[in-house]
Amino acid sequence: MDGQDRVVTIIGRNLWETGNDAGGEMSPPPPPPPPRAVICVGDVHGYISKLESLWANLQSALPPDAFATALVVFLGDYCDRGPSTREVIDFLLALPSRHPAQRHAFLCGNHDLAFAAFVGALPPPPDGTPFSSTWGEYIQNEENEGWYRGPGHEGMHCQGRRWGGIMKEKRNPKRGSSYMGSIYDARPTFESYGVAHGSPDLVKAVPEEHKKFLRELVWIHEEENVPIDTNEGQIICKLIAVHAGLERSIDLNEQFRILRTKDTKISKVAMLSGRQDVWNIPKDLAGKQTIVVSGHHGKLHIDGLRFVIDEGGGYAYRPIAAIVFPSKELIRSTEGTSSQNRSRYHQE
């Protein structure tokens, strides 16, 4: 018997020994591991106690292995309105070391873009266009919105100037409350770093680690092979996460270009700040088994594969919500709210 025959004999014996007793057949392979859980977390808006409560509730609700290995997509708007933006960003920065087997994606919201613009952490336009070119489209609002005119404003994106400004009108009719400094309600963010609203000192007060976090926020997260439970059974989808949604009147490929390259020469990015124009899934994606999930809108809305997960909306009395795929289970913060922390969505 030569070496080759010996190898074949040994392999054959091993195959026989792993078979069942009845016929010596190979045992079936073990079942594949369950798919990685995907958790999408709605707008945080500076509420660290709610974020900590939500995280604890997620950890309690999911099986340990599922939580430990989950993909967690934060849908943006970490700053403004709530009192603890600095602590929120510290919490998010610590997640990779606290949960090394998880994957984390941090989306940029319209508030985060404006915050980054003010502190010099917004990536420059890919084509080298100066940020001052973004002013013209909305310059008619400069006086009423009290755009920032202090040191550094000359080279600032218009959303940074709006974010650091002071509204002339003190009441926000859409929210039924007073503006917190600017149209973005940015005063609590300034104060969380120990400076007064509108102060240029914020640029020095924000740690470089936080500026790096803002600079590296993604405008879109795309994930293939995400399972989702439906009334007809489980299906496999592509997931697209973007803060506000995908615009119905802009070419889809152009939207993807803007989002993937973070094209900051645009004055106001509809996919990060739109309302009704980004509410539905674009027709080009209809029927393509694509989940589109967003925050931003201050409400919870689920229609087919379109998910809007922003139950908190930056209001102190509302919870932060998250949705878990494939089950579509909704998990909420319970600290400081009267909300139940769990529910499962069933489509009619």
Active site residues: 111
Orientation of helix 85-98 relative to helix 208-215, angle to 10°:
80
Residue 87, H or E segment: helix 85-98
Spacing of C-alpha 171 from chain mean position: 29
Peptide bond just before 30 cis, omega within 30 deg: no
Query: 84-89 long-range CB contacts below 8 Å, 24 or more apart?
Result: 84/46, 84/47, 84/48, 84/49, 84/192, 85/46, 85/115, 85/188, 85/189, 85/192, 85/193, 86/192, 86/193, 86/210, 87/48, 87/192, 88/44, 88/46, 88/47, 88/48, 88/51, 89/210, 89/213
